[in-house]
């Protein structure tokens, strides 16, 4: 399934495996939310149902307001509910079954082809024990695989978290966004660390964010 992010599909032989779970990690401000929403709008323009589930970090109205600045944003798509925005903040608790129920209910209701959970870190924090989270994540991934969709799980972490991360092992694909300070300028990067069943370009690639959204420059490191 084409990601809809210019430059990225070229790096991953045309798109994401389908169905699959794609982990998109990075520190705050690296472009994770923009990437996810740009991909949802890309799909929705082509008739695919999209579902954006947010937990805690940014209420849906904040996300929609910030989105309006981008060329890929379409009010019509939101009004027609080709992308549905769901805030599950109210369902966050230590009870993993309650969280799972609300996720499943929304996926079954809308039958999306593209799902975003932004950020999954919020669920991890709510389920304080690592074992509970690990089991939750496993169950969620098994479930999502049977739903015929690509899911982008947004997670707030950096390179140093990857080797220890349960999420990274379990996902089909892993994309890390980052920024580096080079000659007093902050440059943004995208790196594909893993893409199951797909040859992909390795190493950090230049990432540009503008009013058009994200664009990867695969030829530039």
Ligand X SMILES: Nc1ncnc2c1ncn2[C@@H]1O[C@H](COP(=O)(O)OP(=O)(O)O)[C@@H](O)[C@H]1O
74 CA to centre of own chain: 19
Q: Which is nearer to ligand X, 87 or 100 (CB)?
A: 87
By the rule CB under 5 A, 33 interacts with Mg ion? yes
By the rule CB under 6 A, 69 interacts with ligand X? yes
Which of 25-33, 121-129, 142-150, 194-202 is the region at the interface with ligand X (rule: CB under 6 A)?
25-33
Which of 129-137, 142-150, 199-207, 208-216 is the region at the interface with ligand X (rule: CB under 6 A)?
208-216
Please give the structure tokens belonging to residue 26. Answer: 């990075």
Among 29, 59, 129, 148, binds ligand X (CB under 6 A): 29
Closest CA to 84 of 68, 66, 60: 60
Give all strands (DSSP E) within the chain, no chain letters: 20-26, 50-54, 83-87, 114-118, 150-155, 173-182, 185-195, 205-210, 213-217
By the rule CB under 6 A, 101 interacts with ligand X? no
By the rule CB under 5 A, 39 interacts with Mg ion? no
By the rule CB under 6 A, 211 interacts with ligand X? yes
Q: Which is nearer to ligand X, 184 or 210 (CB)?
A: 210
Least Cβ distance, residue 49 to ligand X (angstroms): 22
Neighbours of 42 (CB within 10 A): 20
Least Cβ distance, residue 10 to ligand X (angstroms): 21
Least Cβ distance, residue 95 to ligand X (angstroms): 27
Least Cβ distance, residue 69 to ligand X (angstroms): 5
Residue 114 sits at φ, ψ, to 5 deg, of -125, 130
Total interface residues for Mg ion by CB under 5 A = 1
Residue 210 to residues 34, 71, 171, 181, Cα–Cα distance (Å): 10, 9, 29, 19
Find out whether 130 and 136 touch, Cβ atoms under 8 Å: no
Helix axes 60-67, 32-45, angle to 10 degrees: 80
Binding site for Mg ion (CB under 5 A): 33
Binding site for ligand X (CB under 6 A): 26, 28-34, 69, 209-211
């Amino acid at each position: 399934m084409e990601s809809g992010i210019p430059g990225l599909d070229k790096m991953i032989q045309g798109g994401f495996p389908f169905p699959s779970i794609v982990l998109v990690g990075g520190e705050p401000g690296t472009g994770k939310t923009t990437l996810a929403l740009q991909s949802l709008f890309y799909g929705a323009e082509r008739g695919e149902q999209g579902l954006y589930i947010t937990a805690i970090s940014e209420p849906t109205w904040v996300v929609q307001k910030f989105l309006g600045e981008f060329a890929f944003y379409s009010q019509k798509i939101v009004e027609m509910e080709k992308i549905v925005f769901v805030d599950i903040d109210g369902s966050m608790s230590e009870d993993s079954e309650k969280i799972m129920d609300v996720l499943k209910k929304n996926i079954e209701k809308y039958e999306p082809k593209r799902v975003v959970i932004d950020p999954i870190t919020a669920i991890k924090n709510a389920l304080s024990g690592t074992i509970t989270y690990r089991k939750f994540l496993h169950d969620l991934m098994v479930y999502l695989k049977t739903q015929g969709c690509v899911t982008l799980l947004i997670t707030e972490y950096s390179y140093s978290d990857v080797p220890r991360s349960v999420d990274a092992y379990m996902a089909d694909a892993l994309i890390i966004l980052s920024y580096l300070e080079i000659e007093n300028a902050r440059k943004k990067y995208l790196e594909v660390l893993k893409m199951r069943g797909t040859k992909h370009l390795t190493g950090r690639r230049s990432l540009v964010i503008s009013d058009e959204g994200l664009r990867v420059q695969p030829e530039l490191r």
